[in-house]
Chain A
Amino acid sequence: MKKAFKTSLMVMIPVILVAPACKKNKDKGTDVTVLKTEILKDISVNVCTDSYVDMLDKANALQSTVTALTTTTNDANLTAARTAWKNMRVTWEQSEAWLFGPVEADLIDPRIDTWPVDFTQLDQILNSSAVLTEAYVDNLDDALKGFHPIEYLLWGVNGNKTATSFTAREKEYLTSLTQNLVKLTTSVKNTWSNGYNVQLSTAGNGSTEFATQQDAFIQLVDAMSDICGEVADSKLKEPFDSADPSKEESPFAKNSIVDFTNNIKGVMAMYQGKFIVDGKGIEDLVRLKNLSLDTEIKSKYTAAISALGAISVPFGQAITAEPTKIQNAMDKIAEFEEVLDGKLKPFLQQQVQ
């Protein structure tokens, strides 16, 4: 929700100085107009839409492992379900770098990734006599469905649950939670592949969502810097500042640092136009016009990823055990955000109309 808001001057000065360069032309043999359209198309199809296709595959895989676990409840099947949950998280967390469009407008994000979990009501549900169908789960508050209640059921509050401790009610709830997650993932995937992808790729050329290509590029760069801000100023900072591990997101699976790393990797996927298949990305425009900016973005990215990688224990422990490493990670991510917001965004405002 938060955006670092810079005053007009920082934007205006480069705009005025570089203004004469805004005429459409061929640069070093590359047709810039064609390139911008290609970038939007590739990001739309190869990055955003493909990520939701991939996420749906992983949601289905999670459902299979949950079915196996509820049918044959043993530790091997529990491990498989946990792995499937983590695999799906990789894609979801990367996709948080493009948290706009259907995932926001159709309220998919709050329904699959609300934190914290409502433990009190979760226990009430398990102890109630309600039939825990998918429809029942769908009607529950957001804090009672999606990734984190599933995580809670798979790992237990201390992260050390064993297969023998699963109750019949837990299995029933887990099954419906997973079905609901598959349903919502299907919805966002379908909305992207059946229309929203065209909205983004035809920005400025008939899109009703994005009147100009600049609108679309600004949407992309805002989404990229937003997730950096979210990780640096909220997900890392709030538990760290209050030295309170209970504020950690994804605490049961001890997966937070992996989540944060994938958030930042998602930013690079957008920049490079590559989620699985490599296509044109924002970097292709930057490299054509401002090679040093490209170098700076990539070095800030690498520094942020290494700083997160240096944290050697789960986040909840690292708050007290490795505070300097956490501080360093927050600083490096903030610097990455600063270059996206303070340099890449004005660059795109100049280069794309």
Chain B
Amino acid sequence: MRKTTKALLAILAAVIFFQLACSKMQMPIDNPESEWLSGGSQTAFDGGSGSFSHMFSGMTTVQNRVHEVGDGQFSATFVTAPAPLNPGLGPIYNNVSCISCHVSDGRGKVPGTGESAANMLFRISIPGTGEHGNPVPVPNFGDQLQPRSTLGLSPEGDVSITYTEHIYTFSDGTTCSLRTPDYKFINLYTAIPSNVLLSPRVAAPVFGLGLLEAVSEADILKMADPNDTNHDGIKGQANYVWDVLKQQKVLGRFGWKANQPSILQQVAAAYNGDMGITNLLFPKESSEGQTQFSSNPGSASYELADSLLYSVEFYVKTLAVPVRRNVTNPTVIQGKNLFAKTGCIKCHVSDLRTQVNVAFPQISNQLIHPYTDLLLHDMGEGLADNRPDFDASGRQWRTAPLWGIGLTQKVNNHTNFLHDGRARNLLEAIMWHGGEAETAKNNFAQLSKKDRDALVAFLESL
């Protein structure tokens, strides 16, 4: 018995050796909690164009079906009411379906010159804070600009984007060009106050959010250091935002400024603000109170069935995280070490563990590698939108998760990064960091070109 086992092991070892010797390793075969598995047990073994769209494994038949229903709903095109299917679009809106901004469940592309902003939106407000600490909506516009409307009505307006390039020169003489966006309102349907605050936001990838939602509040707050008591120059502050169902302020986790507390509220807000679909959480049309809609008949009930809203929440919650690639590549390993050494990892935290959840084992007690602390950080003047959002200041942004970032080209056919997509590649995105990240950015800039390339190669492997 024992002998047989040994022999089998030897054969297996030899087979594995052959495998290693004659092809690039594609699959993790060692420790199940190895760093290959960005999403813990909910890691999808695909590095292709559909790699953001895999559902969790090991769910029940019913859960799989709810995910599928949510998937269908995420893709569903809404049309003007009355209609037999998906009615309720508008009257003002940004887009007609979830998928048309979150293409392939991924990242929005910024428009080229002369194109309208289809995959991004503009948050707007006037100075001050609302009753829940929220940004104050702009009279006649609300808190987001809707550039489309149903026929016969006026869209709120649009924004034209121009960029100014400036060259950054590294100490070794190599350069990279950084572009600063400038935004101008155009085609407004009515005058907008001159003190309006504007914040551009591209559509963010939607996978892995169920795992991020499952990280305990205590674990997130443990990473916060709002007074910089350890004097490392990095603070990390929680945002506290209004929870519509609980009717109280709670920890914010999602969105570029952590201004949404839950996947459910994020989804419901997007239906309402982006498509004009009223729902359980947001039953009033986004156009309500605007002059051109004063005669718009209000509807007695809201437009999206609760079951469909919850199915989309579940769909997003149960999208798996793509597996890492090339983890054992020496350049990637070098890049990973530099990522830690330069200090990037202080905010882009590599290891988090989700809390125990006996009701939903897929998200329970998982070691995940999202590369975020889900906290707000001052990112410097260069990236500031100067538009506060609950407790987030005009210079603060939530640390963006980096998992899957190396697949953006494959999934979305572009490499626009940061909240407004100004960075055209990962190098530019790094070089835009400032504020609390100034030291880490400078550490990076002082590396040799070979080392900088290695760090980018590491990011590409995520």
What is the interface of chain A, defined by CB distance below 8 A to chain B?
A: 1-8, 11-12, 15-17, 19-20, 22-23, 100, 104-105, 110, 114-121, 124-125, 128, 141-143, 215, 218-219, 222, 226, 233-234, 238, 246-247, 349, 353
B218 touches A (CB below 8 Å): no
Establish whether residues A105 and B413, one from each chain, have CB atoms under 8 Å apart when the complex forms.
Answer: yes
Establish whether residues A233 and B68, one from each chain, have CB atoms under 8 Å apart when the complex forms.
Answer: yes
Establish whether residues A8 and B45, one from each chain, have CB atoms under 8 Å apart when the complex forms.
Answer: yes
B contact residues, total (Cβ < 8 Å): 53
In the bound assembly, the distance between CA atoms of A142 and B78 in angstroms comes to: 10
Given A1-B99, A238-B72: A19 and B83 within 8 A (CB)?
A: no
- Name 13 interchain pairs, CB-CB below 8 A, sorted by A: A1-B105, A2-B71, A3-B54, A7-B58, A8-B28, A11-B45, A15-B27, A16-B19, A115-B77, A116-B85, A118-B80, A128-B151, A218-B48
In the bound assembly, the distance between CA atoms of A116 and B85 in angstroms comes to: 7
What 7 A-B pairs have minimum CB-CB distances, sorted nearest first?
A19-B19, A5-B54, A118-B79, A246-B84, A120-B80, A116-B85, A20-B18
In the bound assembly, the distance between CA atoms of A11 and B22 in angstroms comes to: 18
In the bound assembly, the distance between CA atoms of A20 and B148 in angstroms comes to: 58
Establish whether residues A222 and B83, one from each chain, have CB atoms under 8 Å apart when the complex forms.
Answer: no
List residues of chain B with CB within 8 A of the CB of A17. 15
Establish whether residues A1 and B27, one from each chain, have CB atoms under 8 Å apart when the complex forms.
Answer: no
List residues of chain B with CB within 8 A of the CB of A218. 46, 48
Partner of A121, one of B15, B29, B79: B79
Given contacts A16-B29, A114-B77, A222-B46, 4 further A-B contacts (CB under 8 A): A19-B23, A20-B19, A116-B85, A121-B80
Give the dominant DSSP class at B's interface: loop
Establish whether residues A5 and B19, one from each chain, have CB atoms under 8 Å apart when the complex forms.
Answer: no
Q: Which B287-306 residues sit within 8 Å CB-CB of chain A?
A: none
Q: Which residue of B lies closest to A10 (CB)?
A: B45
Tell me the smallest distance from the CB of B51 to a CB of chain A, in Å: 9
Given A117-B79, A219-B48: A22 and B23 within 8 A (CB)?
A: yes
In the bound assembly, the distance between CA atoms of A328 and B447 in angstroms comes to: 62
List residues of chain A with CB within 8 A of the CB of B83. 116, 118-120
In the bound assembly, the distance between CA atoms of A100 and B12 in angstroms comes to: 39
Establish whether residues A15 and B49, one from each chain, have CB atoms under 8 Å apart when the complex forms.
Answer: no
Establish whether residues A353 and B80, one from each chain, have CB atoms under 8 Å apart when the complex forms.
Answer: no
B44 touches A (CB below 8 Å): yes
Establish whether residues B48 and A110, one from each chain, have CB atoms under 8 Å apart when the complex forms.
Answer: no
Partner of A19, one of B22, B43, B82: B22
B50 touches A (CB below 8 Å): yes
B134 touches A (CB below 8 Å): no
Partner of B84, one of A5, A116, A234: A116
List residues of chain A with CB within 8 A of the CB of B81. 120
Tell me the smallest distance from the CB of B12 to a CB of chain A, in Å: 7
Q: Which residue of B lies closest to A120 (CB)?
A: B80
List residues of chain A with CB within 8 A of the CB of B67. 2
Tell me the smallest distance from the CB of B389 to a CB of chain A, in Å: 30
B458 touches A (CB below 8 Å): no
Q: Which residue of A lies closest to B27 (CB)?
A: A12
In the bound assembly, the distance between CA atoms of A218 and B58 in angstroms comes to: 23
Tell me the smallest distance from the CB of A197 to a CB of chain B, in Å: 17
List residues of chain A with CB within 8 A of the CB of B28. 8
B152 touches A (CB below 8 Å): yes
Establish whether residues B152 and A353, one from each chain, have CB atoms under 8 Å apart when the complex forms.
Answer: no
Most chain A Cβ neighbours within 10 Å, of B56, B68, B75, B82: B68
Q: Which B34-80 residues sit within 8 Å CB-CB of chain A?
A: 43-50, 53-58, 67-68, 71-72, 74-75, 77, 79-80
Establish whether residues A143 and B79, one from each chain, have CB atoms under 8 Å apart when the complex forms.
Answer: yes
List residues of chain A with CB within 8 A of the CB of B48. 215, 218-219, 222
Establish whether residues B72 and A120, one from each chain, have CB atoms under 8 Å apart when the complex forms.
Answer: no
In the bound assembly, the distance between CA atoms of A104 and B50 in angstroms comes to: 12
Given A5-B57, A124-B151, A353-B24: A19 and B80 within 8 A (CB)?
A: no
List residues of chain A with CB within 8 A of the CB of B152. 124, 128
In the bound assembly, the distance between CA atoms of A5 and B52 in angstroms comes to: 11
Establish whether residues A8 and B85, one from each chain, have CB atoms under 8 Å apart when the complex forms.
Answer: no
Given A15-B19, A141-B96: A120 and B82 within 8 A (CB)?
A: yes
Establish whether residues A2 and B55, one from each chain, have CB atoms under 8 Å apart when the complex forms.
Answer: yes
Tell me the smallest distance from the CB of A242 to a CB of chain B, in Å: 10
List residues of chain A with CB within 8 A of the CB of B54. 3, 5
List residues of chain A with CB within 8 A of the CB of B22. 19-20, 22-23
In the bound assembly, the distance between CA atoms of A104 and B24 in angstroms comes to: 30
Q: Which residue of B lies closest to A116 (CB)?
A: B85
In the bound assembly, the distance between CA atoms of A3 and B67 in angstroms comes to: 11
List residues of chain A with CB within 8 A of the CB of B47. 215
In the bound assembly, the distance between CA atoms of A286 and B5 in angstroms comes to: 34
In the bound assembly, the distance between CA atoms of A233 and B84 in angstroms comes to: 21
List residues of chain A with CB within 8 A of the CB of B413. 105
Tell me the smallest distance from the CB of A244 to a CB of chain B, in Å: 8
Establish whether residues B85 and A16, one from each chain, have CB atoms under 8 Å apart when the complex forms.
Answer: no
List residues of chain A with CB within 8 A of the CB of B23. 19, 22, 353
Establish whether residues A20 and B15, one from each chain, have CB atoms under 8 Å apart when the complex forms.
Answer: yes
List residues of chain B with CB within 8 A of the CB of A238. 72
In the bound assembly, the distance between CA atoms of A247 and B27 in angstroms comes to: 41
Tell me the smallest distance from the CB of A287 to a CB of chain B, in Å: 23
B104 touches A (CB below 8 Å): yes
Given A16-B29, A121-B151: A3 and B53 within 8 A (CB)?
A: yes
Given A11-B45, A116-B86, A143-B96: A125 and B19 within 8 A (CB)?
A: no
Q: Which residue of A lies closest to B118 (CB)?
A: A107
Establish whether residues A5 and B44, one from each chain, have CB atoms under 8 Å apart when the complex forms.
Answer: yes
In the bound assembly, the distance between CA atoms of A114 and B77 in angstroms comes to: 7
